[in-house]
Structure 1
């Protein structure tokens, strides 16, 4: 896969994380005009919060959930400043939109580097506080009292002087006409009702009863199933494919042969898997055919003996290790190449037509996935829709969009949607180490 699918490579991703201090001017974004609700139906003052006429509070979470609790923790931040009734809170995945949902510490829409709380602590508090201020102002105007005399709690605006209350649901239409303040005051830590409490995770019930939907669970109507094999050598290509035995397998519908990928499409995963095993694929290894683990390690060991870059310097190392040192202990430590080995194997479901593409996936980089699918389908990004799901593990592996790119290339050759699932062997062999 070409590295030009995105302006930010994985290496640059972590470089940005390390130097995150230069990213300035993050602001609470305003939802696009096409997303604005009809008057009175929903109050959506920014890209993170929607309140409907029944009082349901929808929080659009910019970071993805892969087991680390992000949907609950970031929802707590928003709901805390909003003073929302936690029992009326629901969560949605943010769509691919780097203008609205970019991680302020990374400048791209990505979940990684263990920074979700650090990155969104202040922006989400500001979003909640601004929304709350609009609701308070709307209630104050309806009562003809100063907003400073009002307070909020559990999705209600309360005026203690008169004993009057208004639910957020009743204020939806009026709050939409209030100009959001630029610097709404944030709560003092002592006033927190949610943050700091042992709140039950929002995703636990559906993960317990089996209703939770991961990328691999996507089943659009008419979907076919595929699995693939790629060149075992980086940069290798398909030499020849004998698919006669594969096509005799019941349920096998199609064999897709690309430059560096061979896939079998079937009525179900078992047919696709058996069909792939029946293929006779010969590869042209290319210039990296002689590369081995021994060669990689010898080069790494040789490189480690050269002078390295100094990331931080404290004290005088030459004096500490000089002739006056009491003792010098020398040791070499090596970390093997480790696959991420996510519990949920790599997968992506894609439907490509001449004018559009649609993808279902669980990913840490939603906007990069959309770019990858658009590139593979040869379509503008505006004609690509990506549905994000819960992730069955990420660990950085799903910071790459390669699985979406390969799936879209295969789907372009198939009539209708196709779910591409990597075998464990292919997943491990082609991981990003």
Structure 2
């Protein structure tokens, strides 16, 4: 798209936000105190504010997206700041998902063209304003670091000096965009915007919000998923000094107090009898046995892929391998537990929080409170992590707050309230990465080439379309994406999804389906290579004829890791590759075993993600993703006992510790392709890379996570 998007522009009148009608070419952008567009404000003092439509949750998107616009604007980076865009789907919706949301590692890819055009339009308007002021042709002017210059006379004007007059000009169309060789910001490493504020704790998150007269609320939820309140005795809780109210909600019982400590203390005094007639009451071993039965019995499922005749090809294969892979439920465990502040007054509702899908959250509040949509105002804030937890399709945590606000209003209390989840609430409260079982049968021909594969995946779905009554009639792509036959050359393949009936709430989790399919298919590829008597790298490369990006990334990662070279005693390398969200990541892990514990010493990571916006952010996302994946490899697991989650906090649901972090080398593949996502792809190959290294050390395949070498098993 070479022209400029003509969808709605924004104007500021004083400090209030005024949404204008969509601007057509030739119209003027209303002028407040400077140049104002949907994604950009330039103040008369030269400060440049770039509005970020995607949630900043630690991934650095506020810096990456600002860089894209600032590049086309020719801005002085030292004058650039960013802030969350307001809730306004008409202006800030995801152009693919159709609503205001963040997810799928799409923020940069989705905003790339949009922000380039916004920056180019603003630059053109500033140049035109200078041309009119000086009475010279605009072609004689150049822009650089937030200044417009006239080479013939040496005159210069800062963007701030031109902002007001530029805002009065017609909005141009067809503004040309820069070529890659002209970039001065994109591709250069720079610190994140606001990093100093983060370092000194000055960033305001949902959990930090304070409002006059605000109360703090916590919920007591059923210890079993699907349980309901049968009766509650709240006398002791109400008697505690500082307790304002106790409300029975659809989701449980809420205690509102003057502060969080009092609310938590009072919650512990509630005497609740639970109705578990509709609750999930099975334990993890029972669920595992049920998943295995479903995989083995020919339970009705849905084919996600049928290529050739896998059953017949396997019957004639020279060698056949069969393997089951098991992965547990996992909690998201963001550092900032869920928290939001709400206030209902004079027929209006305002909510402050880190909304990952504000369109869904807004819709839920409107429905529960029965207010006109324009009377519900969301104030987006950055969040201290999410990994998918804040983006539930049910808007579960924001719905809880809305139900609480409704209960308060019914009781005549219009004071604001902060709803908080504790760490224990987070880990025991559901919406996990689904537990899943993969059963794979793969066959080799007489020449050691992959001939056929059958893959059955037993896993719950978190897709709204799959949760409706009745059996699904089509496969869930979030369950099967990343399967073995997706990238590797195999003439006969069948991939099948079997949906179990389990009452544990599940939802999107970093890298969605790839976080389990990558593990099973990359571990099996190692096992197949050994069965064929071939090197694991060479075997993969021989089956990647249709995917040269995968092959190139693998070769580079193996070369940088020293694949095939002698290693110190007691060490082994394991490798894996995956494409997720159009980004290819290959990783090689160097591992040793010490006192029956897996120690990951070094990881080499190669990324092919198109144009790299900021090498520092790329490196940070790969390092963070690897740490995330290592938590799943070494520690993470949620188990049920009679339907109750056994784990509750970091002491028994640990994440990777600093002393466990390996040395990580990150390399990117040079590319001039449009940028793709980096928030999630780096977290998945490490699962299999470590497992494959451990298998080389022990001589035993690793087919379940977390890896346990001491013989212990899930409870």
* Runs of 5+ unmatched residues, structure 1: 1-24
Structure number, greater radius of gyration: 2
Question: By how many angstroms is 1:246 displaced?
Answer: 1.2
Contact 2:71/2:186 (<8 A) preserved: yes
2:9 aligned with 1:31, yes or no? yes
2:55 aligned with 1:80, yes or no? no
Q: How does 1:102-141 map to 2 (within 5 A)?
A: 102-141=93-132
SS in 1 for 2:386: coil
Question: By how many angstroms is 1:347 displaced?
Answer: 1.3
- For 1:155 and 1:65, locate their aligned partners in 2 and report how far apart those are by CA, in whole Å: 25
Question: By how many angstroms is 1:310 displaced?
Answer: 5.0
- For 1:379 and 1:78, locate their aligned partners in 2 and report how far apart those are by CA, in whole Å: 36
Question: By how many angstroms is 1:236 displaced?
Answer: 3.2
Aligned mate of 2:396, from 393, 402, 405: 402
- For 1:104 and 1:256, locate their aligned partners in 2 and report how far apart those are by CA, in whole Å: 40
Contact 1:352/1:377 (<8 A) preserved: no
Contact 1:63/1:116 (<8 A) preserved: yes
Aligned twin of 1:351:
343
2:237 aligned with 1:237, yes or no? no
Aligned mate of 1:411, from 405, 429, 444: 405
Q: Deviations over 1:59-106 (max 9, x none)?
A: 111111111100001000010101111111121111111111111232
Please say which of residues 193-202 and 353-362 is displaced more in the overlay: 353-362
Contact 2:218/2:421 (<8 A) preserved: yes
Aligned twin of 1:369:
361
- For 2:5 and 2:288, locate their aligned partners in 1 and report how far apart those are by CA, in whole Å: 46
Aligned twin of 1:323:
316
Aligned twin of 1:426:
425
Aligned mate of 2:60, from 53, 60, 69: 69
Aligned twin of 1:333:
325
* Greater per-residue strand proportion: 2
Q: How does 1:252-291 map to 2 (within 5 A)?
A: 252-288=243-279, 290=281
Contact 1:26/1:104 (<8 A) preserved: no
Please say which of residues 366-375 and 152-161 is displaced more in the overlay: 366-375
> Which TM-score applies when normalising by structure 1?
0.87
* Runs of 5+ unmatched residues, structure 2: 12-17, 21-28, 433-715
C-alpha distance 260-105 of structure 1, shift in aligned 2 (>3 A): closer
- For 1:55 and 1:314, locate their aligned partners in 2 and report how far apart those are by CA, in whole Å: 60
Q: Say which structure, 1 or 2, has more relative contact order (CA 8 Å, 6+ apart).
A: 1
Question: By how many angstroms is 1:148 displaced?
Answer: 1.9
Contact 2:217/2:418 (<8 A) preserved: yes
SS in 1 for 2:264: helix
C-alpha distance 130-432 of structure 1, shift in aligned 2 (>3 A): same
Question: By how many angstroms is 1:144 displaced?
Answer: 2.4
Please say which of residues 63-72 and 291-300 is displaced more in the overlay: 291-300
Aligned mate of 1:157, from 144, 148, 160: 148
Aligned mate of 2:334, from 321, 332, 342: 342
C-alpha distance 140-309 of structure 1, shift in aligned 2 (>3 A): farther
Question: By how many angstroms is 1:195 displaced?
Answer: 0.7
Question: By how many angstroms is 1:193 displaced?
Answer: 1.0
- For 2:303 and 2:117, locate their aligned partners in 1 and report how far apart those are by CA, in whole Å: 38
- For 1:184 and 1:300, locate their aligned partners in 2 and report how far apart those are by CA, in whole Å: 57
Question: By how many angstroms is 1:290 displaced?
Answer: 4.6
Aligned mate of 2:380, from 383, 388, 398: 388
Contact 2:354/2:381 (<8 A) preserved: yes
Please say which of residues 212-221 and 362-371 is displaced more in the overlay: 362-371
Contact 2:216/2:263 (<8 A) preserved: yes
- For 1:232 and 1:126, locate their aligned partners in 2 and report how far apart those are by CA, in whole Å: 51
- For 1:378 and 1:285, locate their aligned partners in 2 and report how far apart those are by CA, in whole Å: 31
- For 2:223 and 2:368, locate their aligned partners in 1 and report how far apart those are by CA, in whole Å: 21
C-alpha distance 158-250 of structure 1, shift in aligned 2 (>3 A): same
Q: How does 1:196-235 map to 2 (within 5 A)?
A: 196-235=187-226
> How large is the RMSD of aligned CA atoms in angstroms?
2.4
- For 1:219 and 1:95, locate their aligned partners in 2 and report how far apart those are by CA, in whole Å: 19
Question: By how many angstroms is 1:134 displaced?
Answer: 1.1
- For 1:203 and 1:236, locate their aligned partners in 2 and report how far apart those are by CA, in whole Å: 43
C-alpha distance 144-313 of structure 1, shift in aligned 2 (>3 A): farther
Contact 1:157/1:166 (<8 A) preserved: yes
- For 2:345 and 2:132, locate their aligned partners in 1 and report how far apart those are by CA, in whole Å: 52
Please say which of residues 346-355 and 301-310 is displaced more in the overlay: 301-310
Question: By how many angstroms is 1:248 displaced?
Answer: 2.6
Question: By how many angstroms is 1:389 displaced?
Answer: 1.4
- For 2:321 and 2:349, locate their aligned partners in 1 and report how far apart those are by CA, in whole Å: 59
